[in-house]
Amino acid sequence: MKKILKFIGKYKIFLVLSVLLATVSVILQLYVPILFGDAIDQIVAEHQVHFDAMWILLREILVLVAISALATWVMNMINNHMTYHIVQDIRSQAIRHIQRLPLSYLDRHSSGDIVSRIIADTDILSDGILLGFTQLFSGIVTIVVTLIFMFSKNFWITLLVIVLTPMSFLIARFISSRSFEMFHKQSETRGNQTALIDEMIGNQKVVKAFGYEEKASERFAQINADLQKYSQKAVFYSSLTNPSTRFVNNVIYAGVALVGAFMIPGGALTVGGLSVLLSYANQYMKPFNDISSVITEMQNALACANRIFDLLEEEEESPDVEGTINEVKGNVSISHVDFSYDKNHRLIEDFNLEVDPGMRIAIVGPTGCGKTTFINLLMRFYDVDQGNIKIDGKPIDGLSRHALRSSYGMVLQETWIKDGTVRENIAFGKPDATDEDIIRVAKEAHSWEFIERLPKGLDTVLHEDSISQGQKQLLCITRVMLCLPPMLILDEATSSIDTRTEQQIQEAFDKLMKGRTSFIVAHRLSTIRNASLILVMKDGKIIEQGTHEELLVQGGFYNKLYNSQFQAV
Instruction: Indicate whether 24 and 112 sit together in one domain.
Output: yes
Tell me, what's the pLDDT at 519? 92
Over residues 482-532, the pLDDT tens digits come to: 888 889 888 876 665 667 667 767 777 777 788 889 999 887 777 788 889
Specify the range with the lowest mean pLDDT, choosing from 25-39, 431-445, 535-549.
25-39
Residue 386 and residue 279 share a domain = no
Q: Using one digit for the tens of pLDDT, what is the confidence trace for 59-106?
A: 888 888 899 889 889 988 888 888 888 888 888 888 888 888 888 787
Number of domains in the chain: 2
318 in any annotated domain:
no
* Reduced 3-state DSSP string for 142-201: HHHHHHHHHHHHCHHHHHHHHHHCHHHHHHHHHHHHHHHHHHHHHHHHHHHHHHHHHHHH
Residue 333 host element (H or E): strand 332-339
pLDDT digits (tens, 9 = 90+) for 349-376: 888 999 999 999 999 988 878 888 888 8
Would residue 320 count as lying in a domain?
A: no
DSSP string, 35-86: HHHHHHHHHHSSS---HHHHHHHHHHHHHHHHHHHHHHHHHHHHHHHHHHHH
Question: 3-state DSSP: the chain helix, strand, coil percent, rounded to 5?
Answer: 65, 10, 20
Q: Which of 312, 344, 372 is the last residue of a domain?
A: 312
pLDDT digits (tens, 9 = 90+) for 178-227: 777 787 788 788 878 887 877 777 666 566 666 777 887 888 888 888 88
Return the CATH number at 393.
Answer: 3.40.50.300
The answer as to whether 319 is a domain residue is no
Residues 260 and 336 in one domain: no
**Is residue 389 scored above 90 in pLDDT?**
yes
* CATH value at residue 89: 1.20.1560.10
What letter represents residue 15's amino acid? L
Task: Tell me: do 246 and 343 sit in the same domain.
Answer: no
160 and 214 in a common domain: yes
Has residue 133 been placed in a domain?
yes
What range does the domain containing 417 cover?
332-568
Please provide the average confidence, as pLDDT, over all residues in the chain: 81
Asked if 296 and 136 touch (Cβ cutoff 8 Å), the reply is no
Confidence check: pLDDT of 125 > 50: yes
Task: Please compute, for residue 225, the number of CA atoms within 13 A of its CA located in the half-sphere on the CB side.
Answer: 6
Amino acid residing at 506: Q
Q: Which of 282, 312, 342 is the last residue of a domain?
A: 312
The pairing of beta strand 360-364 with beta strand 533-538: parallel
Sheet holding 517-521, edge to edge: 408-411, 487-491, 517-521, 360-364, 533-538, 541-546
- Note whether residue 130 is domain-resident: yes
402 shares a domain with 451: yes
Q: Which helix (H) or strand (E) holds 272?
A: helix 271-312
Give the global pTM.
Answer: 0.65
Question: How confident is the model at residue 296, as a pLDDT?
Answer: 64
Question: What does the alpha-carbon distance between residue 389 and residue 127 come to, in Å, rounded to a whole number?
Answer: 49
Same domain flag for 483 and 561 = yes
Share of the chain above pLDDT 70, in %: 88
Q: Which of 47-51, 125-129, 481-485, 507-511 has the lowest mean pLDDT?
A: 47-51
Radius of gyration of the chain (CA): 36
Residues 545 and 532 sit within 8 Å (Cβ to Cβ): no
In a domain, 327, yes or no: no
Name the band, by pLDDT with cuts 50, 70 and 90, for residue 569: very low
Question: Are 367 and 489 within one domain?
Answer: yes
- 181 and 238, same structural domain? yes
Conformational region of residue 442, where left means phi above 0, alpha means psi within -120 to 50, and beta covers everything else: alpha
pLDDT above 70: residue 437? yes
Q: What per-residue confidence (pLDDT) applies to 202?
A: 66
Query: Do 340 and 297 belong to one domain?
Result: no
Task: Choose one of 312, 344, 361: the last residue of a domain.
Answer: 312
3-state secondary structure 72-140: HHHHHHHHHHHHHHHHHHHHHHHHHHHHHCCHHHHHHCCHHHHHHHHHHHHHHHHHHHHHHHHHHHHHH
Residue 321 lies in a domain: no
Asked if residue 410 and residue 298 are part of one domain, the reply reads no
Whether 438 and 491 map to the same domain: the answer is: yes
Q: What's residue 154's pLDDT?
A: 81
Asked whether the predicted pLDDT for residue 470 surpasses 80, the reply is: no
Most confident residue range from 225-239, 246-260, 332-346: 332-346
Rounded to 5°, angle at Cα 66 from 64 and 67: 65
Specify if 296 maps to a domain.
Answer: yes
